[in-house]
Amino acid sequence: MTYKVIQWTTGFVGREAVKGILAHPELELVGAYAWSPEKDGQDVGELCGIGRLGIQASNDIDGLLALGADCVCYTPNHPDIDVICRLLEGGINVVSSNLTNVRAAGKAARKRVEAAAQAGGVSLFGSGIFPGFANYIAANMATVSQNFRRVRFLESVDVSTYHAIRNYDNLGWGKTPDPKWEQASREVLGFYDECLDVMGAMLKVPISERRFTLEWAITPDDREYFGFEIKAGTIAGQKTTWQAFTAGQDDAVLELDVCWVAGKGLEPEWPIHHGYTMKVDGNPNVQTRVTFSPQVAERIEDFIDMSNTVTSMPLVSAIPTVCEAASGIRTYADLPLITGHYVPNI
């Protein structure tokens, strides 16, 4: 069976998704959406730096809907609920890098998306490296532990090599601390909070309370990464924690810590582990660290591409499963096991 796929935007994650779709034996790339006017009409392969594919990117949504695609791989910089509903109502499954279960978008939006998926007879699935694959692995680790009491998860990265660092301006990076930026993090990063729902559903945790905490790190000097300026005295790092509690328990049962810094020498200076550290407290305790290294590590771009590959591949790998899933909003908690696909080196 081959599933026809449209790639929705060709930004950092989208470009790697295109490479993953082309390499996957069960997927066929049939189109791409261009948000930027200058990308409209350009060859998708050329936009992704891999040479001509004979498929043009287009900003004509009706034209893309008419391609008869099974799935859209949706990776614009922000989710647009209207567009997602249009795709779902049009009978196209959606895998997305910026949603988990849509709870954070509010009850009305979630209801609309669920209704659109039911109307189209298709499903929506959100993943990435984290939110997505990494917290799914952390939850799976509890499988080997009797009476597990707690799953803790830490993402700890220096994002100064992250090409899309400018996207953090909507979290207040490069600005002076202000409570409005804490609220922005709650909202913009709402799909991180949704990971607690997925892990809770996987592990049968009756969540009774959630907590969100945020600390900032400030740069003492002016710095710039990929054209994004962060002046002295402004936010250049943040530690964000999402916790889930059960009734009568003082300690969180599920805890997601995310520590991002833009370079060294911030105040305070947090230790950075460059990857994911996951721990299960139970009998036995379980611990693992997940780190990545590029297959070819010759240029800084190899590391940048790798970070986008690990975001896009959990989506690409999920497409066949999502296309066969029951209609509605789907998560790792209710889909069958999603795996990679062996590609012989011929």
Ligand X SMILES: NC(=O)c1ccc[n+]([C@@H]2O[C@H](COP(=O)([O-])OP(=O)(O)OC[C@H]3O[C@@H](n4cnc5c(N)ncnc54)[C@H](OP(=O)(O)O)[C@@H]3O)[C@@H](O)[C@H]2O)c1
Summarize as ranges the residues that interact with ligand X (CB under 6 A). 9-14, 34-36, 39, 75-78, 97-98, 128-132, 164, 167, 311
> What is the phi-psi region of residue 151: left when phi exceeds 0, alpha when psi lies from -120 to 50, beta otherwise?
beta
Task: Report whether 254 contacts 196 (CB < 8 A).
Answer: yes
Pairing status of strand 71-74 against strand 3-8: parallel
Residue 267 C-beta: closest distance to ligand X, Å: 26
- Per-residue tokens: 77: 């910089």
Query: Which residue's CB atom is positioned nearest to ligand X?
Result: 128
Cβ nearer to ligand X, comparing 18 with 244: 18
Cβ nearer to ligand X, comparing 118 with 170: 170
Cβ nearer to ligand X, comparing 8 with 148: 8
Cβ nearer to ligand X, comparing 14 with 174: 14
State the Cα–Cα distance between residues 252 and 87, nearest whole angstrom: 38
State the Cα–Cα distance between residues 216 and 303, nearest whole angstrom: 26
Cβ nearer to ligand X, comparing 258 with 323: 258
Which one-letter DSSP state was computed for residue 132? I
State the Cα–Cα distance between residues 269 and 35, nearest whole angstrom: 38
Task: Report whether 311 contacts 16 (CB < 8 A).
Answer: yes
Taking the CA atoms of residue 110, residue 112, residue 113 and residue 116 in that order, the dihedral angle to the nearest 10 degrees is: 160
Residue 110 C-beta: closest distance to ligand X, Å: 18
- Per-residue tokens: 101: 């279960």
Residue 220 C-beta: closest distance to ligand X, Å: 28
**What single letter denotes the amino acid at residue 179?**
P
- Per-residue tokens: 275: 């990857």
Cβ nearer to ligand X, comparing 129 with 256: 129
Residue 121 C-beta: closest distance to ligand X, Å: 26
Residue 97 C-beta: closest distance to ligand X, Å: 4
Residue 243 C-beta: closest distance to ligand X, Å: 20
Task: Report whether 156 contacts 297 (CB < 8 A).
Answer: no
Residue 334 C-beta: closest distance to ligand X, Å: 19
First to last CA, the chain: 21
Cβ nearer to ligand X, comparing 313 with 325: 313
